[in-house]
Amino acid sequence: MSAIEPWLPASGIVVAATPLGNVGDASPRLSEALRRADVVAAEDTRRVRNLAAALGVEIAGRVVSNFDHNEDRRVAELVAEARRGVVLVVSDAGMPLVSDPGHALVTAAHDAGVPVTCLPGPSAVTTALALSGLSVGHFIFDGFAPRKAGARRAWLESLVGQPRAVCFFESPHRIAGTLAEAADVLGGERRAAVCRELTKTYEEVRRGTLAALAEWAAEGLRGEITVVIEGGEGPAAQPGDLVGLVLERVSAGERLKDAVKEVARAHGVKTGELYDAALAARSSGS
């Protein structure tokens, strides 16, 4: 095995994973990046300073906020900084861009020909999948479960025949309701795992059927929650069955190709076949 090389490029964007809770999961390369980056773009500047202090690292570069509500305004400035030096991108915990800020900046950097690299590390998604004890050889990640009742119901219905496991985040205030609705839509006997406070002192992984987990969660949960639901064994969706979902999204202003791509991904069908079915439906006026 080769020696650890705390390497950084001379310039560019460096996306880095940070610990979910246990600071011991921080990599030597992360410590080096915090120490040497010219700019640290953080979802929460206070948290990244606390992390650096816990690691015994002094941040020499400029620390700026980069979160959902200001990221678009930061992009041009940070891309310009990345042409001259290293811009380190971190979120509060885990991997940036995975339901966290960073997408707009990384996309702009690629488009501008600015180098982008990644320092791998902790992720709630892969940690929960590994701990779930379910069949997760093939899986999809859906970010946070939809907040609105109608959208959440439609999302759960899209998973009925989904053969892949699904991993998603949920708020402790909504987890009981989401699990109860999942049991209703997907069947109470479908297996799942609720992973709470991963890598932290009160880490908990509860496995069972959706019905049993919904009953357990009704007593109240705290902390950050990641859920894994095992894939279904029902009949796979057919492109013709999904045309309505595509056309609804198009009516709401989404481009046809984008709507087809998202619906096909969610339901595990071929994009080309769904696109042809949607075009045929539009041509016929149905």
Across 117-121, 220-224, 243-247, least confident range: 243-247
Determine the Cα angle at 48 with ends 223 and 91, to 5°. Answer: 60
Query: Which residue among 122, 145, 172 closes a domain?
Result: 122
Say yes or no: 264 and 278 in one domain: yes
Tell whether 257 and 168 lie within a shared domain: no
Same structural domain for residues 153 and 202? Answer: yes
pLDDT > 90? residue 143: yes
pLDDT at 236: 60
**Are both 118 and 129 inside the same structural domain?**
no
Q: What is the mean pLDDT of residues 56-64?
A: 97
* CATH number for the domain that contains residue 165: 3.30.950.10
The angle at the Cα of 191, spanning 189 to 193, to the nearest 5 degrees, equals: 140
The verdict on 159 and 101 lying in the same domain is no
Tell me, what's the pLDDT at 77? 96
The answer to whether residues 95 and 111 belong to one domain is yes
Cα(13)–Cα(85) distance, rounded to whole angstroms?
9
Residues 145 and 114 in one domain: no
For helices 256-267 and 149-158, angle between their N-to-C axes, nearest 10 degrees: 60
pLDDT score for 112: 97
Q: Look over the chain and give the mean of its residue pLDDT values, rounded to a whole number.
A: 92
CATH label of the domain that carries residue 38: 3.40.1010.10
pLDDT-based confidence at residue 266 (cuts at 50, 70, 90): low
With 50 as the cut, is the pLDDT of residue 1 above it? Answer: no
The more confident residue out of 216 and 8 is: 216
- Residue 68 reports pLDDT greater than 90: no
The confidence score (pLDDT) of residue 5 equals 63
pLDDT band for 27, please (50, 70, 90 cuts): very high
Give pLDDT tens digits for 157-187: 889 888 999 999 999 999 999 999 999 999 9
Give the contacts of 160 (CB within 8 A, at least 6 positions apart): 185, 186, 232, 234
Angle at 235 between CA 229 and CA 239, to 5 degrees: 105
Q: List the alpha helices (DSSP H) in 85-148.
A: 103-111, 124-132
What is the distance between the alpha carbons of residues 34 and 55, in angstroms, rounded to a whole number? 10
The total of structural domains in the chain comes to: 3
Examine the pLDDT at 148 and tell me if it is beyond 60. Answer: yes
Contacts of 232 (CB under 8 A, 6+ apart): 159, 160, 161, 162, 163, 186, 190
Both 197 and 270 in one domain: the answer is no
Distances (CA, A) of 262 to 59, 67, 248, 271, 275: 40, 25, 13, 9, 11
Residue predicted with more confidence, 102 or 2 = 102
* pTM, to two decimals: 0.78
Look at residue 42 and tell me whether its pLDDT is greater than 70: yes
**Domain coverage including residue 24:** 12-122
